[in-house]
Amino acid sequence: MLKETNKSKCTLIVFTLMIFFNTTFGQEKPNIIFIMADDLGYADVGVYGQKLIKTPNIDQLSAEGMRFTDYYSGAAVCAPARSVLMTGLHTGHTRIRGNFGKGGVVGLAGKQGRVPIKEEDLTLAEVLQENGYITGMIGKWGLGEPNTSGEPNKKGFDFFYGFYNQRRAHSYYPDYIWENTNKVKLHGNENEQNHQYTHNLFADESVNFIDRNHQKPFFLYLPVCIPHSRYELPDNGIYTHKKGWTDLQKKYAAMVTRLDETVGRIVKRLDALGISDKTYIFFTSDNGPAEIVNDWEIFNSNGIYKGMKRDPYEGGIRVPFIVRHPKKITPGSISDQVGYFADFFPTILELIGLKSDEIFDGNSIAGVLHGTKKSTDVPPLYWEFYEKDGWRATRFGKWKAIQNNLHQSHQGPIELYDLYRDPAETFDISQSHPQLVEKAKKIFKTASFPSEHYFWKFQQREATDIYNN
């Protein structure tokens, strides 16, 4: 999180000069598409083990690109995951560390505490925009309400279509949507008619954006809303007559398959325009599955992993992560490189040939994608989370450390897991590895600096109402 606006502006100037030098001498800038599902589990996709839900296009994306097995979101819930992605800073440093925080504004859904990203917080979209990219964001933003510093059009996006507010995004048949700073009435949804389905609108706008801008380098950020609840959609598709399934099971599967169809549609459009060989496609989810019991048990959405959305365990933060570029990435390759959303910013800078002195919490995986670098150990990954009872977690090498109940005090016990031998986090081995627990304590002590918006409840009891929405 940059502390001074002037630093952000100077950084953009440096970025501009350096990318001009690179492109002047013949390096072609690739297109970047980042597709992010909402609450899609690690094992909700066929190539990651899903047996019941059909995802042929995402599976094909993997067959034509690289699939990561040990990749993580930047957070276990919506807004902070997006903040980590856009800034390259983990939740101990990035501006937005939770869905709600002290000093945030009242959001469009009527709840206070929506913290906007600020002018001094440099985003990847700003850098790309300043360096010749046409930038578009379609879907759920979650980093700033209208008339705040966090509007997408103020943070690097030439075109925005979707939801500012993540709670309003729960409806797939809203009465309006935003196009840039303008409300667009969806007359087909008046009087509960439910004729204009937002995911279909997002898919259409994505293809239209590519059509409009395919002769220039573009960045399309597509954080869709499905399969987040509510479980609404026009029809249950190929699952309509599925015997033995509940209606909710049919709806969930149909939403995931509809997402898959959108991925296929985008790939086909790139092929038709002849720009597939110039385009990197990233596919992932913002966090783990929101539901894993009752109707959802049949899908086994988090695979072997423990936990779900909002949890520090693997099921809450380990996500599917696939990257495709027909000419740059070996088809069908698999990587066990450990990483998370904070890598996206430095990775894109390297992919477009841009060097920077900016400090990120993530690391570029460009060499891994291109096969010029093998999987390597990286500095510890770090998460902190202010909902539920409050927790923080770190992964260093094969070790995962978790400290829960931080709203009570900083001194709670630390759990420790060996993810190589015990990826399901079944056995807490902290008692037999005190030296690793001490290492985790040092990481926890140094990985985060205080935020004016987020704090543990015991530190300021009067502000407890901003947590646990």
Domain containing residue 127: 5-370
* pLDDT for 19 beyond 90: no
- Do residue 152 and residue 231 come from a single domain? yes
If asked whether residues 114 and 211 sit together in one domain, one would say yes
Specify the pLDDT at position 11. 54
217 within some domain = yes
Residues 6+ apart with CB under 8 A from 63: 47, 331, 332
pLDDT surpassing 90 at residue 393: yes
Quote the pLDDT of residue 423. Answer: 98
pLDDT interval class at 396 (50, 70, 90): very high
If DSSP codes are grouped into helix, strand and coil, which group holds residue 136? strand
Same domain? 250 vs 386: no
Task: Let me know if residue 375 belongs to a domain.
Answer: no
Whether residue 461 is predicted with pLDDT greater than 70 in this model: the reply is: no
- Please tell me whether residues 262 and 406 are part of one structural domain: no
Q: Please state, in angstroms and as integers, the Cα–Cα distance from residue 48 to each residue in 38, 67, 77, 455, following that order.
A: 17, 9, 21, 36
H or E stretch covering 82? helix 78-87
**273, 393: one domain:** no
Q: Are residues 344 and 424 in the same domain?
A: no
Radius of gyration of the chain (CA): 21
Which has more confidence, 297 or 14?
297
Q: Note the pLDDT of residue 8.
A: 52
> Of all residues in the chain, what percent carry a pLDDT higher than 90?
88
What is residue 24's predicted lDDT score, i.e. its pLDDT? 36
Contact partners, residue 202, CB within 8 Å, separation at least 6: 138, 139, 161, 162, 222, 224, 225, 262
Q: Across residues 347-360, what is the average pLDDT?
A: 93
334: left (phi over 0), alpha (psi -120 to 50) or beta: beta
On the question of pLDDT at 469 being above 70, the answer is no
pLDDT for res 462: 47
User: Which residues face 284 on adjacent strands?
Assistant: 36, 321
The answer to the question of residue 219 being in a domain is yes
**Domains contained in the chain, number:** 2
Is 319:71 a contact under the CB 8 Å cutoff?
A: yes
Confidence check: pLDDT of 442 > 70: yes
Per-residue confidence band for 1, with pLDDT thresholds at 50, 70 and 90: very low
**Those residues with Cβ within 8 angstroms of residue 122's Cβ, 6 or more apart along the chain or in another chain:** 2, 8, 11, 12, 87, 358
Quick one: 355 and 417 in the same domain? no
Q: Which residues of 242-270 are buried (b: 16+ CB within 10 A; e: fewer)?
A: eeebeeebbbbbbbbbbbbbbbbebbebb
Per-residue pLDDT for 7 more than 70? no
Q: What are phi and psi of 182, to 5 degrees?
A: -110, 135
The residue that leads in pLDDT, 357 or 225, is: 225
84-119, pLDDT tens digit by residue? 999 999 999 999 999 999 999 999 999 999 999 999
Task: Return d(Cα 276, Cα 326) in angstroms, integer.
Answer: 7
Q: For residue 15, what pLDDT band results from cuts at 50, 70 and 90? A: low
Q: What mean pLDDT is predicted for residues 77-88?
A: 98
Q: What is the pLDDT of residues 297-320, one digit of tens each?
A: 999 999 999 999 999 999 999 999
In a domain, 107, yes or no: yes
User: Quick one: pLDDT at residue 289?
Assistant: 98
Note the pLDDT of residue 355: 85
Same domain, 339 and 406: no
Q: How many angstroms separate the CA atoms of 425 and 336, rounded? A: 18
Residue matched to tokens 């988090």 = 302
- Is residue 454's pLDDT more than 70? yes
- pLDDT at position 146 is 96
Helix axes 198-213, 247-273, angle to 10 degrees: 10
Q: Tens digits of per-residue pLDDT, 27-47? A: 689 999 999 999 999 999 999
Tell me, yes or no, whether 413 lies in a domain: yes
How high is the pLDDT of residue 26?
A: 46
> Which is higher by pLDDT, 371 or 23?
371
DSSP 8-class letter at 95: S
Q: In this model, does residue 375 exceed pLDDT 80?
A: yes
